[in-house]
Structure 1
């Protein structure tokens, strides 16, 4: 009630003046710096192209800074108008309560004003249960009325804070090849200056964990489970003693760019087996391991182009054998190893076609052979294999090729659209020569 709301319009004017000064700087920059990369034949080559991109990006930031400053000024003016209106409504609510025989403290607490009553009226109210009830109901009604007015101010205050916070977050609409924006954390050219249209909550962080919070931790835990083949399901056996299992997954999205990561660590012992003939085909798997293993993986995708890198480490003993035969393909493996090993893997994917390679260093005794031919659980078709051997020291190498038919189809469709659009543009241009 005592805040000088005029300071909001004073601040708004300063932000608007700042936008004007930034416009002057942008104009000077365009005429004296950026100009040297535009046209002419005195400067050509890679350096000129790089400068052209960087200078355009700098000018973009000057333009975006103007838009952001204007938006903040506009938000502050809207805030002044709305706060002034709500303050008047709160004052009116207080005056109405007083006129109805109430008192309102500086803290906004409502009470019945007995001072306005004559001694006889006060005595009558004190000895009249119905009168006391009526007073209580009236006090509660006026208290709620004033509380609602105060709540409206608090909500507006939070909305203004959120709108100002969002206004200075780079929207990146013109980044990553869409325009001249080369900074993911620059000024916000698309800041919203209308408080009614501004977001009422802060956007989620672009880095968001997968699942509930991306982090899971289990253990210690132990148990055994056995199920037979029935109702078209595989039979399974599981025996485990987990000391600890920790997993964290995260993902960053920004337009066509997606970055994701996975960190997984396990310490314990387990043995599992699956077997049966189902509508999915023939399955026979068995594996056992004891020790500690860790895996760290990172992936990046931009449009139809992507890549990944992965590191794995293991210390202990493991053995496994499996084969799966179905209409989707055939895969299997045999592995037995005791000791320590570390592996690195990397690969890339373009328009749904991927290739990757794995290399492992082993310190121990073991052998491994693996093959994949068919469609995996991720929906991609996998073709590849891996082999390794160690007698005290050794290693393994592997390669894999993948085909994502969905992405191949999408890429082909986009390419066809581009060819069609380009051909149409070329036709229009050539035709215009003869007009």
Structure 2
């Protein structure tokens, strides 16, 4: 229920003092019960004279009971603190409403039971004064000004009442959370709340927006297409160093989605992609940055998913891939962005996983694939991606009918390495200054 003006100005908040004192006394009493129970029940039965399954069951229950006494103390004291904070804040805000009304009345504005202000200064005039005023050419303007100022008082009072209602809702949330036990400690979920928070500012915060964790910022993007067919061919183009390239596809469908969650230095990222259809491509070129040639074909379906978790300079990653169909390819290249050479051919189904860790911009990982079908693959890669990250990794696999492939991968992110070194240097400098200040203070 939303509080209105009448609720606010007529509320009696004096009972908060007695109720908060009662909760505090209750919490202290629970603490005494915990000490008495541990001393006169739990420890007496645990003197070593009683053994066996029944003793173990009793001690387990006794430990849970003692825990709940302690949790009850924490919960009761937290509620006492919340009620004390609530009285202080609600009393302050209630007074702010009443002070506004008093100020308005001093300036000849009357506030009714709903909090609406009306100018009544003209009611104090004599009959002659009112007659003279009503025939004044500026009378309409004076009335308009009085109505505008009255509305201003009404709006200010409404905002002050809203502040009381907002705090009242905050108190409700805080008390509800203090009495809710979601822990499996003690007797389990539904007991007393050993984590009850007694600070109203912390415990009464609004719930996070739906679909968003408190303090986290999310970004998502997705796209989908298909079915469709197409082809493209070009070259040679001597000016751009392109000898020739061609591509053709017949897509049943493709889809991709990615998203991130960030909270300060913490970042979670994930992406998923799926494709079904057939495609083939070939390209070759020579430029001042290097030479590259590749050709490949695929028919079937494939899907992949991966994710990363970073906390400052430290991160981990994992991904999974699956494919059913036939593929073949060959590539070779060398240039400023690295070198790569490899060949593969496979028909059947395969699935693979990869995982690794990154510290300060240098990452190490391993990949493994299981194949059901004939095929072979050999790849050696040392290249830079669009984000400037260098990837190094060999991969080999063979499968007469059942088999697989294993590989290792190393990554180097120059930008992240520089940032890590810079942060470390800053930390060392701060530590040196701190030590220097400490030594100086000794003398």
**Aligning the two structures, in what range does the TM-score lie when normalised by the shorter sequence?**
0.5 to 0.7
1: CA distance between counterparts of 2:388 and 2:327? 25
Contact 1:368 1:389 in 2 (8 A): no
The SS at the match of 2:113 is: coil
CA contact (8 A) 1:262 1:297 kept: yes
Cα distance in structure 2, aligned partners of 1:295 and 1:231: 34
Residue 400 of structure 1, aligned match among 387, 408, 421: 408
Q: Deviations over 1:287-343 (max 9, x none)?
A: 55555433244667899998665443334555544334346753344345565x241
Q: Name 2:225's counterpart in structure 1.
A: 219
CA RMSD of the aligned region, Å? 5.8
Contact 1:354–1:402 (CA<8 Å) still a contact in 2? yes
Q: Which runs of 5+ in 2 are unaligned?
A: 1-5, 45-58, 179-188, 429-443
Alignment of 1:30-69 (within 5 A): none
Q: Are 2:24 and 1:16 equivalent residues in the alignment?
A: yes
The structure having more radius of gyration, on CA atoms, is 2
Three-state SS of the structure 2 residue aligned to 1:358 is strand
For residues 254-277 of structure 1, the C-alpha deviation after alignment (integer angstroms, 9 at most, x for no partner) is 999x87654433456666677656
Q: In terms of mean alpha carbon deviation, does 73-82 or 317-326 score higher?
A: 317-326
* CA separation of 1:402 and 1:163: change in aligned 2, threshold 3 A: farther
Q: Deviations over 1:356-415 (max 9, x none)?
A: 23123345x76543333466668465332032457xx545322214366989x99xx9xx
| Matched residues, number | 376
Counterparts of 2:34 and 2:288, CA distance in 1: 67
TM-score computed with the length of structure 1 as normaliser:
0.59
Calculate the TM-score normalised by the size of structure 2: 0.59
Alignment of 1:9-408 (within 5 A): 9=17, 12-13=20-21, 15-17=23-25, 19-21=27-29, 23-24=31-32, 27=35, 70-113=77-120, 128=136, 130-155=138-163, 157-158=165-166, 161=169, 191=197, 193=199, 195=201, 212=219, 214-220=220-226, 243-249=253-259, 261-267=270-276, 281-285=290-294, 287=296, 289=298, 291-297=300-306, 310-316=319-325, 318-326=327-335, 329-337=338-346, 341-349=349-357, 354-362=364-372, 367-373=376-382, 379=389, 382-389=392-399, 394-402=402-410
Map of 1:5 onto structure 2: 13
Q: Is the 8 A contact 2:82 2:174 kept in 1?
A: no
Cα deviations by residue, 1:120-139 (Å, 9 ceiling, x for unpaired): 66666666563222222233
Deviating more after overlay: 394-403 vs 372-381: 372-381
2: CA distance, partners of 1:277 / 1:26: 81
